[in-house]
Amino acid sequence: MSRVCTLCGKRPRTGNKISGSDHHTKRRWLPNLQRVRTMTEHGPRRVRVCTSCIRSGKIAKVISRMSSEV
């Protein structure tokens, strides 16, 4: 499963971790992806979306049947 946001396409970034002695080693920054139920053209689906897309309202969450019955 790839670590890519299905809406904005945000993916892992690479760079260097720099120690106190200025030693460089490779590292990765991963996007904060969450599995969210949303409506698509094929019905409700679970998609991996970054938290910035969720907060900005680019995605409409689907309310589950279990929470509506309570």
For 4-37, how does the pLDDT look when each residue is reduced to its tens digit (9 = 90+)?
999 999 999 999 999 999 999 999 999 999 999 9
pLDDT the model gives residue 67: 59
Q: Which residues of 3-28 are buried (b: 16+ CB within 10 A; e: fewer)?
A: eebbbeebeeeeeeeeeeeeeeeeee
Amino acid sitting at position 12 = P
pTM of the shown model: 0.77
Hey, what amino acid is at 22?
A: D
In the chain, % of residues over pLDDT 70: 93
Residue 39 has pLDDT above 70, yes or no: yes
Architecture of the domain defined by 13-63: Roll (2.30)
What mean pLDDT value characterizes the chain?
91
pLDDT for the residue 21: 97
Q: Return the pLDDT at 60.
A: 87
Angle at the Cα of 44 from the Cα atoms of 59 and 63, rounded to 5 degrees: 70
DSSP 8-state symbol, 61:
B
